[in-house]
Structure 1
Amino acid sequence: MSARPTPYPERPAQAPVTGGGLAELLRRVRYEVLPAKATEDKVLAHVPADVPVTVTASPAKGIGPTLDLATRLAGHGYRVVPHLPARQITDAGHLTDVVDRLVAAGIEDVFVPAGDADPPAGAYDAALPVLRRLGELGSPFAHVGITGYPESHPLIPDEVAVRAMSEKQPHATYIVSNLCFDPATLRQWLVRVRGRQITLPVHVGVAGPVERAKLLSMATKIGVGESAKFLTRHPSWFLRFAAPGGYSPERLLRRAAPGFGAPESAVAGLHLFTFNQIAETERWRRAMLDRTGG
């Protein structure tokens, strides 16, 4: 691999939503999908080409399926955002190979969480060293996302998460907030983030409409061990999804949208966790746009 120059002086920021309310938020979405066997066909059948698609990575399956799906979707013309969990990257050489593959596929946006692999696959146990290494490689991606936690992370103390966000800010262009179901919590978190001089635009993480039976089927497919870990770390999520008739994000968004449109919030849009219910999520979004005049 040829040497890359030291970091580009500036990266473009994603403009925040200012006004437009719920309809504007629903137009500015990203869909998070899991790299399962049928995911590519579902995306091609149901996701408009102008909707970015983020591809998660499972500790059980490794980063390979994520890269495979991401590069295929990029070939179909989608703006793809692969997850690069630090704990699944073995060393600097592995990261270089990943970067080269994604750059060759025309991918310009990556999301870098720490990840849940325990123990780590190699040299990286947190996102910051990976972000720094990307800078040393010449900042090859125009957009780099990091994680924000409106609610406490099950494994990371709040003070550590707060400090990490400040340290990662110079290496990133946006934040994706972790899943949250309470509009007041989201609004308060945005105020705290801005009060800590974190200025990156935020994509607010919200679960798409989820049916209990399909969610449990998805959990089974990702593996018994992984599902058990997920349930243990996020019991409140499954209680929400298990409500009669499933879960819909409409109430949360209607209550939170006015605050998201405030310029000081710097919300760039919605990050919808589809749990691979891709067709259902897109149908719900279109119906909401119709109801809001969007």
Structure 2
Amino acid sequence: MAAAGLRALLRRVRYEVLPVRTTEEKVLAHVPRDVVVTVTASPVKGLEPTLDLVGRLAAHGYRTVPHVPARLLRDDLHLKEVVDRLREAGVDDVFVPAGDADPPAGPYDGSLPVLRRLSELGGPFARVGVTGYPESHPLIHDDVTVQAMWDKREHATYIVSNLCFDPRVLEEWLVRIRRRDVTLPVHVGVAGPVQRAKLLAMATKTGVGESVRFLTRHPSWFARFAAPGGYAPEKLLTRTRNALTDPASGVAGLHLFTFNQIAETERWRRALLDRLEG
């Protein structure tokens, strides 16, 4: 049963990509139209590259999810402009993290005020995602991150968990948030089969996506991820598959951090599906 459940999760994946020049071409070449594509946003480059790529991928028939960090929004008018632009492109799903811009571009220093404002605007998106942290956030206490998910429950429809490389920590986090009556479905964040050299090169750049910056703030995890033989996504999934497929965990699917190794991620997913089915 666990293997069947894992197969189902691998069919309900989201691919997180970075909005750079080659991303559209890579997605078109390698990502099936039934895979959701989420597009990060950078405090260095702002929202424009994200909105532009989301619009182009949506026009190609992909279900796209833009990251709209609260700290990149200049004011209520800017938020309204972003909403109108996304709705015009047919987007019905957004992911709203706090973001890393320091100082914030406007009055929003966290995601909750943005979520409340979206509700005041009539709930323009059918799905709204927020962040969960199985591993400790470098700046925020664990109890605060769990409380934040509770506070956002009336405005959000799902949680995307950030990177986690420890099966025990991931399992305990799923149990913990359910005990705190956080009932939103979770898309579990998993790093894809990223080449070490590629990851190291990307991590030296600034503003290339929240996923890379999160790794650089956790040097011990980064070392484990980058070490030869130190990480393989199928190992994490195999060791946690009972928790991931337990109905009580409320896991809706997998959120794969591709670090723009899109072809490699899709090949890995298809190969793992084939092995599980065989």
Q: TM (normalized to structure 2)?
A: 0.94
Partner Cα distance (2:251, 2:207) in 1: 34
Among 142, 150, 155, the residue aligned to 1:166: 150
Change (3 A) 1:274 1:227: closer
Q: Give, in angstroms, the shift of residue 180 of structure 1.
A: 0.2
Letter in 2 for 1:251: K
How many residue pairs end up in the alignment? 277
Among 247, 259, 264, the residue aligned to 1:275: 259
Letter in 2 for 1:55: V
Greater Cα offset, 159-168 or 192-201: 159-168
Among 99, 105, 117, the residue aligned to 2:101: 117
Is 1:46 the equivalent of 2:21? no
Is 1:99 the equivalent of 2:93? no
Q: Give, in angstroms, the shift of residue 229 of structure 1.
A: 5.9
CA RMSD of aligned residues (A): 2.1
Q: In structure 2, list runs of 5 or more residues that go unmatched.
A: none
Change (3 A) 1:192 1:287: same
Change (3 A) 1:269 1:60: same
Deviations 1:42-101 (CA, angstroms, capped at 9, x unpaired) = 000000000000000011111111111111100100000000000000100000000000
Q: In structure 1, list runs of 5 or more residues that go unmatched.
A: 1-16
1:153-192 paired onto structure 2 within 5 Å: 153-192=137-176
Change (3 A) 1:285 1:143: same
Match of 2:232 in 1: 248
Among 198, 212, 223, the residue aligned to 2:196: 212
Say whether the 8 Å CA contact 2:212–2:259 is kept in structure 1.
no
Say whether the 8 Å CA contact 2:134–2:169 is kept in structure 1.
yes
Q: Give, in angstroms, the shift of residue 231 of structure 1.
A: 5.7
Among 71, 79, 102, the residue aligned to 2:55: 71
Deviations 1:179-229 (CA, angstroms, capped at 9, x unpaired) = 0011111111111101111111000000000111111232345469x9996
Is 1:108 the equivalent of 2:108? no
Letter in 1 for 2:32: P
- Larger RCO: 1 or 2 (CA < 8 Å, sep 6+): 1
SS in 1 for 2:107: coil
Q: TM (normalized to structure 1)?
A: 0.89
Greater Cα offset, 226-235 or 251-260: 226-235
Q: Give, in angstroms, the shift of residue 24 of structure 1.
A: 1.2
Say whether the 8 Å CA contact 1:177–1:204 is kept in structure 2.
yes
Greater Cα offset, 21-30 or 90-99: 21-30
Match of 2:120 in 1: 136
Match of 1:265 in 2: 249
Q: Give, in angstroms, the shift of residue 164 of structure 1.
A: 1.1
Change (3 A) 1:251 1:28: same
Q: Give, in angstroms, the shift of residue 242 of structure 1.
A: 1.8
SS in 2 for 1:20: helix
